[in-house]
Structure formats: C-alpha cells, structure tokens
Amino acid sequence: MTVGADAEATKEQVTKFIDAYNSLVSTLDSYTSLGGEGEERGALANDPTLRSIESQLNTLLRSEFNGMRLSDVGLTLDRSGKMSLDEDKFAEAQKNGGLALEQMFNGDGNLLDSIDGLMEPYLSFGSGIFSSRKESLQGNIERIDDKQAQLERKYEMSYDRYLKQFTQMNQIMTQMNQTMTMFG
C-alpha cells in the first residue's frame, strides 16, 4: 500500500478547470462578437463589462500564485484566450512539486480564491453589477413598452378619427352625386 498524490485525479480536475474556463471564454466571445460577413453580432458587443471581465481574468491567469505561474506547470493561454495543457510539463510539475501545485490552486489568495474574488462584485446576488444592470435594463424595457402602448393608442385614435372623417366625406359625396343627378 502506498500513500501519495493521485496524479490522474489531479490531472482530471485540472482538465475540468481548463474545460470550464474555455467554455466561459467561448460564451463571452459569442456575446461580445462584433459580427461580420456571415457572422451574427453578439447581443452585448458594445458592453465594456464583459470585455473587462475577460481582460481581468486573462491578467489574473498570467499572474504568479505561490511563486509559480500557470505556464510553469503546463497551462498556457493562446492568442484567443483559450487555455490548453502541456501534459509533459504538467506531469513534470506534479512529480517535482505536487504540494506546490496544489497550493497554487487552493488556499487563501491563490488562483481559485482570486477568481472568486474577481467575480464577486459581478455576481453578488443583491448588489452585484449584473444584478443592477439587469434591473436597469428591465426598467428600460418597461419604459419602452409603455411608450409603445402610448403610440399604439395614439395610432388607434388617429385611425378611428380619420376613418370617421372619410366615412362622412364619402356620405357627403354620395349625397352630392345624388343631388347632381336630380339636376342633370
């Protein structure tokens, strides 16, 4: 019986982290896409908040944690912001410093805590930026709906008025034509 680090489980957890991060980057990219030929513009293409989150995450992931960088253990970011794993470099990092690798991800002020801290102002339930942004957008939608309802009422009133006027004019013209045939 041996007691030691489970290299496969650690690699599996790191792979899950990479997949989750890449999924987040893909989602952010789809929402902030500027569009172009054959490509649809993202719903939040002009929103600086999402670009700021992406930039802050990118900066955070390039920072040092417990004296190590992600690139030191085989996790790299490409130009598009996607993360990948150099398995040989990661295996070497596990063999030479498994505890340091764990401390890089876990513990106060390390990678996962830093990500949580970065996202807290955005995701806080009652006072988060996204929550207040959602309320603001919902208020805008309600104001637009009210204006649309007002315009529809004005349209209906104008339509009804013009329809009555046209009907009256048509009746008068019919009477005039009948009167003209009497003299004619």
Print the domain residue range for 154.
134-184
Q: Does 184 fall in a domain?
A: yes
**Distances from the Cα of 1 to the Cαs of 4, 57, 97, in angstroms?**
10, 41, 22
User: What span, in angstroms and rounded, lies between the C-alpha atoms of 71 and 163?
Assistant: 74
User: For residue 5, what are its two tokens?
Assistant: 């680090």
29 in any annotated domain: yes
Same domain, yes or no, for 99 and 174?
Answer: no
Per-residue pLDDT of the chain (184 residues; tens, 9 = 90+): 566 566 788 888 889 989 998 998 898 888 888 877 877 887 777 778 888 888 888 888 888 887 888 888 888 888 888 899 988 888 888 887 777 777 788 877 788 888 888 888 877 766 667 777 778 888 999 999 999 999 999 999 999 999 999 999 999 999 999 988 888 6
- Tell me the sheet residues that pair with 85: 75
Q: Which of 72, 96, 123 finishes a domain?
A: 123
Together in a domain, 85 and 138? no
Q: Which of 95, 123, 151 is the last residue of a domain?
A: 123
pTM over 0.75: no
The answer on 173 and 114 residing in a single domain is no
Residues 74 and 108 in one domain: yes
- What does the alpha-carbon distance between residue 56 and residue 21 come to, in Å, rounded to a whole number? 13
Boundary residue ending a domain (84, 99, 123): 123
- Secondary structure (H, E, C), 74-95: CEEECCCCCEEECHHHHHHHHH
